[in-house]
Structure 1
Amino acid sequence: MRLTSLGHAAVLLETGSERILFDPWLTQRLDRFWEHHPPLPGDLVRQVLDDGVDYVVLSHHHFDHHHFPSLRQLADGADVDFDDSPRQSSAVTCVYPAGPVPPRLTASGLGHQAIAWTLRRLGFEHLHPVTPGDTLTLGAATLRTFPSAVPFPEMSVLVQTDDAAVMLCGDALLHEQTVAAFRRDDAPRLDAVLVPAHSVSPPGVLTERRPLADPDAVRARARANFDRYVEAIPAAVTVPSSFGWRVSGDGARDYSWCNRTMFPFTPVQALRRLDELGRDGLLWGPGQVLEVADGKAALTDGPVAPAAYDFDQLYAGVTLDPAAPVPPFDAAADRHGRQSRTCESLLRELLDHLVATDYWYRALDDGAGRHVISLYEDDGTETAFLLDPVADRVTRLGEGPARAHLAGGEGWTETAASTLEALLDADLLFGSSFGLWASDGVLLSAVFHHPSFYTRHVDRALREANTP
């Protein structure tokens, strides 16, 4: 079995007869906020995927794993040769998790219901949804799936062939079913396991611009998450994974501070932890190849040499630093686009889109949900408004930021009117909007995580691709 890293959680797995691509994010930039780190070598995607793929496996619906611009590349051959064929999607089978979790339109990542729609819209014809826990056969490979301890469909995948067994855990949170499966007497013996080392970002740093309150506790929690995985899933080699990105912004605003305040547990720290636990581990980066066979797993020659990356240096820039300052949110600078509509019209449309979201239903149930939002306008004024989703009412409160107008019990959000307009007009994908508002609530997330906004972006990308 041969595995090639394409950065972050993207992996091409070759069995000798099948080419299986996991969680493809194949562009250097994810959006205006995130980019691959280490960077993708310039011609890597074409070089690795030039012979095509037989299967695409998506662990879950988050944008860095279910990245529709990358899926469009695979479907259309826009940036990948695929033996000079202009369209290969009809020959590719897509495997992804579905059910039995009920729909959650506001689940992070734009809604898991959109996976099947996206794949069909991009031209993929062979779809194979699975319930995490199912086992399926892909040619000579057996894929055994395991659920994640999250409120939406997500899975880890164990790939077994005659000569190797490798488990790719993606972002999954360790589930008790997985723990139980590896405690059985007939538990599979793993040659390699890719364990998430991304941990959980400290709360409030980005959304509320709060400094770290207890960095030691954050680090301890992240390490404990990793330790549980390592203890539950023994393997000949453990690879800290799903940590291949950093914040860079789009040049308009410096967000480098995020990289010193959001990542409490890097792959380098995870590798050291493996050594403390007496487990063999290794790190790899984009273009590096892991050969797995007969109970052994090791880096070998590939597009990028085994010793090409200085991981200590690479991850030093994304290591938690409690002394790093967290700048306050500034809607005058943290903004996107230009304003052409009044604040009242933007907020009226926002309330209309809030209908039928989880947030709206919860507000109806408990009679709460009132939210103070302030919009910074292009002329330099900032005005606060009270949104009442139960009464379907927008009330002007006065000038100043939202937090200056709280009466008690309301949530608050501060953003620029131009940013809100760009989101409503589908000029800005939700995943790109990180850093463009501050809030202690999920009102905007409830609206812009809705699949209806996501599908507009997919359609827009397809229209732009088809325009001469």
Structure 2
Amino acid sequence: MRLTSLGHAAVLVDTGSERILFDPWLTQRLDRFWEHHPALPDDLVARVLDEGVDYVVFSHHHFDHHHYPSLHRLVDGADVDFDDSPRQSAGVTCIYPAGPVPPQLTASGLGHQAIAWTLRRFGFEHLHPVTPGDTVTLGGATLRTFPSAVSFPEMSVLVHNQDAAVMLCGDSLLHEDTVAAFARDDAPRLDALFVPAHSISPPGVLTERRSVSDPDAARARAIANFDRYVSTLPATVTVPSSFGWRISGDTGRDYDWCNRTIFPFTPVQAMARLDELGRDGLLWGPGQVIDITGGKATLVDGPVAPDGYDFDALYAEVTLDPTTPVPPFDASLDRYGHQSRPAPDLLRDLLDRLVATDYWYRALDNGSGRHVISLYEDDGSESSYLLDLVADRVTRLGDGPARGHLAGGEGWTEIAAATLEAMLHADLLFGSSFGLWASDGVLLSAVFHHPAFYTRHVERELREATTR
């Protein structure tokens, strides 16, 4: 069995009889905020996937594991030449977790994505949903799935055939069913285990832009999660995984402070922990290949050589430094794009899109639904407006930031008009944090985590693909 890293949680598993692609995120940038780290070599995806794939497996529906621009790339074949391969994209079978708990509609990471709808929309014809805990038999290999201890469908997957057994955990949380399965006398053997080195952010840093208050506690939580996986799943070799990104916004604003404040436990630190626990481990990056033969997993020659990365230097760039200052949000600096529409038009559009969101229902329930929002415009001015969700009305209050116009009980939002316009045009995926930086509530999250916002992104990708 041979495994090739495509960065983060994306792995191609070649069993000798089938090629299985896990959690495809195949572009350097995930969105306008996150990117692969280490970076993907320019021709890596084309080189690795030129022979096609038979199966695509998704651990869950979050954007870094179910990345629709990457899905479209697989089908479109612009960089991956399926046409000269006996394996055609129309014949790919997609395997993904479904039920019993539906995806959360307003969770971070675009938690509302509907895997089946997206796959169909991008042209995949053979869909195979599974309930985590199910076993799927392929041509020459078997996939045994295990649930994750989260409130949405997510799974770890054990791939095994007569030669090797590999478990890929994505960034799942260890579930008691998995613990029980590996405590049995007939527990599966594992030649290699890919276990998450979780990027558990210290509380409040990304959501509220607060400085790290207790770095030791944040790191202790991450180590405890890692240790529990390692003690539960006795593999011949353990690979700290699903930690292949960093924040690098393409807005002209420096977000490197994020990389020094949100990652308390890196793969390099996980390797040191494995050594303390007496367990064998290895690190790999995009383009590196692990060969599993005779129960032994080793790095072998591939698109990137076994010694192709200096992991100490790479992960030093994303190691927690509690002394790093967290800058306050500034709408005039934390911005994207250019404004082409008047502020009242943008706010009218925002108000319309709030209708039928959770935020809208709660506002109508409590009878208030009043929110003060200020827009920092391209001409340097800043004006505040009252959004009245009950009366469905936008009223200008005057110049200056929103917090200077609060009468009592209203929430506030302060954002650049250009950024709001980009969001409304389905052109910006900043996740939940950006919306919370700009506000004291979830008004923006209610709109930009709504399923309608996601479907607009998908349709936009399809439209733009026809012009490329």
TM range (shorter): over 0.9
Give the alignment's TM-score, normalised by structure 1: 0.93
Aligned to 1:218: 218
Of stretches 273-282 and 227-236 in structure 1, the one that deviates more from structure 2 is 227-236
**Cα distance, 1:392 vs. partner?**
4.3
Aligned to 2:258: 258
Does the 8 Å CA contact 2:436/2:445 hold for their aligned counterparts? no
Code of the aligned partner of 2:225: N
Deviations 1:199-219 (A, max 9, x none): 311233233222111222211
Does the 8 Å CA contact 1:76/1:88 hold for their aligned counterparts? no
Aligned to 1:335: 335
CA–CA distance in 1 between the matches of 2:357 and 2:180?
35
Code of the aligned partner of 2:63: F
Aligned to 1:117: 117
Aligned to 1:179: 179
User: Partner of 1:420: helix, strand, or coil?
Assistant: helix
CA–CA distance in 1 between the matches of 2:111 and 2:261?
27
Aligned to 1:40: 40
The 1:51–1:344 alpha-carbon spacing in structure 2 relative to 1, beyond 3 Å, is: same
Code of the aligned partner of 1:332: S
Does the 8 Å CA contact 2:58/2:95 hold for their aligned counterparts? yes
CA–CA distance in 2 between the matches of 1:14 and 1:362?
50
Aligned to 2:108: 108
Does the 8 Å CA contact 1:105/1:358 hold for their aligned counterparts? no
The 1:407–1:98 alpha-carbon spacing in structure 2 relative to 1, beyond 3 Å, is: farther
Alignment of 1:208 onto 2:224: no
CA–CA distance in 1 between the matches of 2:133 and 2:404?
49
Q: Which structure 2 residues correspond to residues 10-159 of structure 1 after superposition, within 5 A? A: 10-84=10-84, 88-159=88-159
User: Partner of 1:65: helix, strand, or coil?
Assistant: coil
**Cα distance, 1:266 vs. partner?**
0.5
The 1:330–1:312 alpha-carbon spacing in structure 2 relative to 1, beyond 3 Å, is: same
Of stretches 310-319 and 169-178 in structure 1, the one that deviates more from structure 2 is 169-178
Does the 8 Å CA contact 2:141/2:161 hold for their aligned counterparts? yes
The 1:175–1:382 alpha-carbon spacing in structure 2 relative to 1, beyond 3 Å, is: farther
Deviations 1:381-439 (A, max 9, x none): 22344445455454555443344455666544321111111111223235499489533
**Cα distance, 1:221 vs. partner?**
1.5
CA–CA distance in 1 between the matches of 2:34 and 2:15?
32
Moved over 6 A (4+): none
Does the 8 Å CA contact 1:106/1:449 hold for their aligned counterparts? yes
CA–CA distance in 1 between the matches of 2:50 and 2:363?
51
Query: Which blocks of at least 5 consecutive residues in structure 2 are unaligned?
Result: none
Does the 8 Å CA contact 1:197/1:240 hold for their aligned counterparts? yes
Calculate the aligned-residue CA RMSD, in Å.
2.5
Alignment of 1:309 onto 2:309: yes
Aligned to 1:376: 376
CA–CA distance in 2 between the matches of 1:237 and 1:405?
59
User: Partner of 1:439: helix, strand, or coil?
Assistant: coil
Does the 8 Å CA contact 2:6/2:287 hold for their aligned counterparts? yes
Aligned to 1:439: 439
**Cα distance, 1:182 vs. partner?**
1.7
Code of the aligned partner of 2:351: L
**Cα distance, 1:131 vs. partner?**
1.5
The 1:419–1:292 alpha-carbon spacing in structure 2 relative to 1, beyond 3 Å, is: same
Of stretches 444-453 and 46-55 in structure 1, the one that deviates more from structure 2 is 444-453
Does the 8 Å CA contact 2:52/2:89 hold for their aligned counterparts? no
Does the 8 Å CA contact 2:54/2:87 hold for their aligned counterparts? no
Does the 8 Å CA contact 1:430/1:448 hold for their aligned counterparts? no
The 1:112–1:92 alpha-carbon spacing in structure 2 relative to 1, beyond 3 Å, is: farther
The 1:402–1:207 alpha-carbon spacing in structure 2 relative to 1, beyond 3 Å, is: farther
User: Partner of 1:59: helix, strand, or coil?
Assistant: coil
Code of the aligned partner of 1:446: A
Deviations 1:311-331 (A, max 9, x none): 111111110111111122121
Aligned to 1:324: 324
CA–CA distance in 1 between the matches of 2:103 and 2:265?
31
Aligned to 2:424: 424
The 1:236–1:408 alpha-carbon spacing in structure 2 relative to 1, beyond 3 Å, is: farther
The 1:16–1:85 alpha-carbon spacing in structure 2 relative to 1, beyond 3 Å, is: closer
User: Partner of 1:349: helix, strand, or coil?
Assistant: helix
CA–CA distance in 2 between the matches of 1:164 and 1:371?
58
User: Partner of 1:81: helix, strand, or coil?
Assistant: coil
Does the 8 Å CA contact 1:208/1:439 hold for their aligned counterparts? no
The 1:166–1:87 alpha-carbon spacing in structure 2 relative to 1, beyond 3 Å, is: closer
Of stretches 344-353 and 328-337 in structure 1, the one that deviates more from structure 2 is 344-353
Does the 8 Å CA contact 1:96/1:130 hold for their aligned counterparts? yes
User: Partner of 2:413: helix, strand, or coil?
Assistant: strand
Code of the aligned partner of 1:285: G
Does the 8 Å CA contact 1:331/1:437 hold for their aligned counterparts? no
Code of the aligned partner of 1:71: L
CA–CA distance in 2 between the matches of 1:75 and 1:263?
34
The total of aligned residue pairs comes to 468
**Cα distance, 1:184 vs. partner?**
2.2
**Cα distance, 1:238 vs. partner?**
1.0
User: Partner of 1:463: helix, strand, or coil?
Assistant: helix
The 1:210–1:127 alpha-carbon spacing in structure 2 relative to 1, beyond 3 Å, is: same
Query: Which blocks of at least 5 consecutive residues in structure 1 are unaligned?
Result: none
User: Partner of 2:205: helix, strand, or coil?
Assistant: coil
Does the 8 Å CA contact 2:436/2:442 hold for their aligned counterparts? no
CA–CA distance in 2 between the matches of 1:378 and 1:348?
19
The 1:369–1:191 alpha-carbon spacing in structure 2 relative to 1, beyond 3 Å, is: farther
Does the 8 Å CA contact 1:97/1:154 hold for their aligned counterparts? yes
Does the 8 Å CA contact 1:31/1:431 hold for their aligned counterparts? no
**Cα distance, 1:186 vs. partner?**
2.1
Aligned to 1:198: 198
Code of the aligned partner of 1:331: A
The 1:122–1:23 alpha-carbon spacing in structure 2 relative to 1, beyond 3 Å, is: same
Code of the aligned partner of 2:208: E
**Cα distance, 1:467 vs. partner?**
2.3
Aligned to 1:270: 270
**Cα distance, 1:2 vs. partner?**
0.8
Code of the aligned partner of 1:279: R
**Cα distance, 1:339 vs. partner?**
2.3
